[in-house]
Amino acid sequence: MIPPAFAYARPTGVEEAVRLLAGAGEDAKVLAGGQSLLPLLRLRLAFPELVVDVGRIPGLRGVREEGGTLVIGALTTHHAVVADPLVRRHAGLLAAATATVADPAVRHRGTLGGSLAHADPAGDLPAVALALDAELVAVGPDGRRTVPAREFFVDYLQTALRPDELLVEVRVPKTDEADGWGFHYEKFSRVAQAWAMVGVAALVRRDDGHIAQARIGLTNMGTTPLRATATEEALAGVGAAGPAGVDGVARAAQSAAEGTRPAAEPAVSAAYRAHLARTLTRRAVLAAARMG
């Protein structure tokens, strides 16, 4: 539980951070809240030559509104996200899912940006970012660029971020209840502090007694977070109340595992994970549409 030796830098600005990252190439790691990186270092599963601690860079924390979008600084802690009134009002799914991350100690240190950049498919927030159609803003030597969440998660623990880029903010389109949006994060884990065996992030917009739009993110159903696209399509137009609506949701949820590639672990077969995805999707959508 002792990390290998590494160089440590604590830049005071984004530009300096990017310069350090660019100088180190593939051998640098960004340290934000440290809740994923430090265990990897201590277990000697990661061997960076340089750790760039961005924790003291000003301006990367907090939540603000820009029209129909919430802008959340990458260093905003999980605890701050959960407590933030803007997030609660305009991105309830994010607040609800973030409240299930690990335990209070982790939520006080871990950050939204860190969690997304780490891109653990068992982490709760990548699937939530997908369901929210969030955009991720990175700064590199050539300036800022914006990456849609759908293009951000590339593979297991791999994102579209280049080695010399720093994730600085997360932009989340508002999904207000007043506009008909409902949400639910259905997390299935064996013990409270464990990662999700499967998680389902459901966002549903109701209009005129029907489901107008559904966006469903799946946690831990492959090497990246995934959208349950087939279910989303099948849900459009389903009644948002009554037994017929409930049946419609159940039918749509049957395709939740389509296109997923869940891993098998001891006592957790891939078939069981797929079954969970279907069951939890049904429950999450019913809860999000306030039909459950």
Partner 1 sequence: MSERTTEREVGRSRPRKEDARLVTGQTTWTDNIGVTGLLHLAILRSPMAHARLTRVDVSGALGRPGVVAAFTGRDLAATTASLPCAWPVTEDIVLPDHPAVAVDEVRYAGDPVAVVVARDRYAAADALEAIEVDYEPLPPVLDLEAALADGSPLVHADKGTNRSYVWPLATGEDYGAVRRRADVVLRRRYLQQRLIPNAMEPRAVVVTPLAASGEYTVYSATQIPHVLRVMLSMVTGVPEHKLRVVAPDVGGGFGSKLQVYGEEVVALDVARRLGRPVKWTESRSEGHLATHHGRGQVQDIEVAATSEGKLLGLKVDLLADMGAYLMLVTPGIPILGAFMYPAIYKMDAYEFSCTGVFTTRTPTDAYRGAGRPEATYAIERIMDELAVEVGLDPVELRRRNWIGHEEFPYTSVSGLTYDSGDYEAATDKALALFGYDELRAEQAKRTESGDPVRLGIGVSTYTEMCGLAPSRVLRDLRYAAGGWEAASIRMLPTGKVEVVTGSSPHGQGHETCWSQIAADVLGVPFEDVEVVHGDTRSAPQGMDTYGSRSLVVGGTAVHHAARKVVEKARRVAAHLLEADERDLDFADGVFSVKGSPEARRTIQEVAFETFSSHDLPDGMEPTVNAEHLVDPDNFSYPHGTHLCAVEVDTETGRTSIRSYVCVDDVGRVVNPVIVEGQVHGGLAQGIAQALYEEAVYDDEGNLVSGSLADYLVPGAPDLPEFTTDRTETPATSNPLGVKGVGEAGTIASTPAVVNAIVDALRPLGVRDVAMPCSPGRIWEALRSARAGREAQKEGRS
Residues that bind partner 1 (CB under 8 A): 1-2, 4-5, 43, 188, 190-195, 197, 266-269, 272, 275-276, 279-280
Which residue, 43 or 241, is less far from partner 1 as judged by CB?
43
- The CA distance from 33 to 107, in Å, is 9
* H/E stretch holding 92: helix 92-98
- The CA distance from 16 to 22, in Å, is 10
Which residue, 153 or 188, is less far from partner 1 as judged by CB?
188
Which residue, 215 or 283, is less far from partner 1 as judged by CB?
283
Which residue, 63 or 280, is less far from partner 1 as judged by CB?
280
Smallest distance from partner 1 to CB 1, Å? 4
Tell me how far apart the 2 most distant CA atoms of the chain are, in Å: 61
The DSSP line for 128-188 is HHHHTT-EEEEEETTEEEEEEHHHHEEETTEES--TT-EEEEEEEE---GGGTEEEEEEEE
The token duo for 194 is: 């464990």
The DSSP line for 234-273 is HHTT-BSSHHHHHHHHHHHHTTTTTT--PPPBTTB-HHHH
Residue 257 gets the label, from left (phi > 0), alpha (psi -120 to 50) or beta, of alpha
Smallest distance from partner 1 to CB 53, Å? 19
Smallest distance from partner 1 to CB 4, Å? 7
Smallest distance from partner 1 to CB 138, Å? 29
Which residue, 150 or 190, is less far from partner 1 as judged by CB?
190
Smallest distance from partner 1 to CB 196, Å? 12
Smallest distance from partner 1 to CB 267, Å? 5
Which residue, 234 or 276, is less far from partner 1 as judged by CB?
276
